[in-house]
Amino acid sequence: MIKGENIFLRALETSDVDLIYSWENDPEIFSISGNREPLSKTILLKFISSITNLQDDGQLRLMICLNDKIPIGTVELFDYDSVNRRAGVGIMIANSDHRDCGYGTEALQLLLGFCKSLNLKQVYANVIEDNEKSMRLFSKFNFNKVGLKESWIMVNGVWKSEWLLQKILFNGKN
């Protein structure tokens, strides 16, 4: 568990399957999650059960929970590369009632601290061009726009471009 002031991050549990099922199958979240089709509870249980560790799986998804233990979203590392010491980062606050409350900021801060403890040199994020809240969040942590993938994702029949954002966690040769 990674503890912050108002939230904590914890590993996924099989008991989370119903909640994750509702989040992963929410069409509003499809555009940020990359899902294009409904996911079954069976598939999600296999996913949760098959995760062993970041080194072997190349990914780590953590639940964002309020200090009263209520889950409100997820953060994740993906495309983990221990040789080149980098990973992709993603964040999702599921319910609009919990957005704009600082929980995403705190979750990303905790995740970036964890990335530093992994000795990662850099992290990156992919953000759809009109996702202003995510752009502001990553900007707070000095992620830089390093590329635009034009007409990259189709959302509700409309092509949208996606920004590639990068943050160098430390400069140096090591």
Each residue's pLDDT tens digit, 111-155:
999 999 999 999 999 999 999 999 999 999 999 999 999 999 888
pLDDT of residue 141: 97
CB atoms within 10 A of CB 173: 3
pLDDT of residue 30: 59
pLDDT of residue 78: 95
The domains of the chain are located at 2-168
Calpha distance 174→165 (Å, rounded): 22
Whole-structure pTM value: 0.88
The residues of the chain scoring below 70 in pLDDT are: 29-37, 172-174
Calpha distance 163→131 (Å, rounded): 10
Calpha distance 104→96 (Å, rounded): 12
- Partnered with residue 164 across adjacent β-strands are 126, 147
pLDDT of residue 36: 63
Contacts for 141 with CB less than 8 Å, ≥ 6 apart: 108, 109, 112, 167
Q: Domain spanning 2-168 has what CATH number?
A: 3.40.630.30
- What is the pairing mode between strands 122-128 and 86-93? parallel
